[in-house]
Amino acid sequence: MNFCVVGVGGIGIRHVESFLSFRDSHVFCVDPVRANQPPPANTVFFETVGGLPSNVRFDAVVISTSSRPRLNLLKQVCILHPKMIILEKVAFTSCYEYETAMELGKRYSIPIFVNYAWRYADSLFPILKTSKRWSVFSPGSGLCCNVCHFLDLYRYTFGFVPRNVSISRSGDVYESKRRGYFDFLGSADFSADEVGVSGRFDCNRGANGFRIETDTGYSIQGSDVLPLVSKTTARCFQEFIEGKIRLPDLDEDFMTFRIVRDEMARCGGWDSQSELPIT
């Protein structure tokens, strides 16, 4: 099978690992920065999408750059007619970009999915499935980048996103680990009355590190959670391509984006009609 990963940074390398775990896979990578470094075994690197061989039909192409170059890259990738495209979450920063991307998917008849692998992380799934009240404490990590995962977890677990999401900003907007992108500290409360489940995702500074606790007594600490999430990411695409698991499509991610954008605009101080400067 032929795979392509566009943007081989922190998360993109996980997708390369995932595709390499197929027997007989050919993994093509595009990254102008990584192209000059020694490639991981059994991969071949290109500087641009335009440099990829035109006679290869890709079974899947992943675009795992940060969000700003994504739409332009998507246009270039569609021309290659891959069987499917997977985008990193949150896929885009504005409604215009979502609408253009959905139009491209239709025009080229290419299914487009968005990577919310957290829904399959063994460490996170039990928080909704088995408890009525959960808390995730993630000191120092950004709200913008993470809230979408919890909305998706609800959708995956119960089939709907909670109507009541409330974000409280407690810290200044800061430049995230991805240059030119912003995030802030605070907490997000989710409550889904239909199923009587509520929870809090807390991104304030604190001494105790990443931890998850629920009213059922489930509790897990940072050093145990993170390898589980990382392992899930690496295995996710393999299982997705094999049809064992499902990832949301662009329409579903657009719904998530709008909830995050509106709530962030309400408490974050930026204009909800403009681009959301995250991810």
Ligand X SMILES: NC(=O)c1ccc[n+]([C@@H]2O[C@H](COP(=O)([O-])OP(=O)(O)OC[C@H]3O[C@@H](n4cnc5c(N)ncnc54)[C@H](O)[C@@H]3O)[C@@H](O)[C@H]2O)c1
Q: Is 51 among the residues that bind ligand X (CB under 6 A)?
A: no
Contact 242, 140 (CB under 8 A): no
Q: Is 66 among the residues that bind ligand X (CB under 6 A)?
A: yes
User: Which token pair is 34?
Assistant: 């990584």
Among 3, 18, 34, 165, binds ligand X (CB under 6 A): 34
Q: Is 176 among the residues that bind ligand X (CB under 6 A)?
A: no
The window from 62-70, 76-84, 128-136, 150-158 that contacts ligand X (CB under 6 A) reads 62-70
Q: Is 53 among the residues that bind ligand X (CB under 6 A)?
A: no
Q: Is 89 among the residues that bind ligand X (CB under 6 A)?
A: yes
Span 136-155, contacts to ligand X by CB under 6 A: 145
User: Would you say 73 or 197 has its CB closer to ligand X?
Assistant: 73
Q: Is 18 among the residues that bind ligand X (CB under 6 A)?
A: no
The window from 100-108, 115-123, 135-143, 152-160 that contacts ligand X (CB under 6 A) reads 115-123
What kind and span of H or E run contains 16? helix 12-20
Among 2, 18, 43, 65, binds ligand X (CB under 6 A): 65
The window from 26-34, 96-104, 202-210, 241-249 that contacts ligand X (CB under 6 A) reads 26-34
Distance CA 115, CA 258 (A): 17
Q: Is 30 among the residues that bind ligand X (CB under 6 A)?
A: yes
What are the E-state strand segments in the chain?
2-6, 26-30, 43-46, 60-63, 85-88, 112-115, 133-137, 164-175, 182-192, 197-202, 211-214, 219-221
User: Which token pair is 70?
Assistant: 């994504």
Least Å distance, CB 10 to ligand X, is: 3
For residue 124, the number of C-alpha atoms closer than 13 Å in the C-beta half-sphere is: 29
Q: Is 31 among the residues that bind ligand X (CB under 6 A)?
A: yes
Among 115, 135, 138, 187, binds ligand X (CB under 6 A): 115
User: Which token pair is 214?
Assistant: 């629920």
Distance CA 34, CA 207 (A): 35
Strands 26-30 and 2-6, by their bridges, are parallel
Distance CA 100, CA 87 (A): 14
The window from 59-67, 185-193, 206-214, 241-249 that contacts ligand X (CB under 6 A) reads 59-67
User: Which token pair is 150?
Assistant: 């919890």
Binding site for ligand X (CB under 6 A): 6-12, 30-34, 64-67, 69, 73, 88-89, 115, 117-118, 145, 178, 233, 279
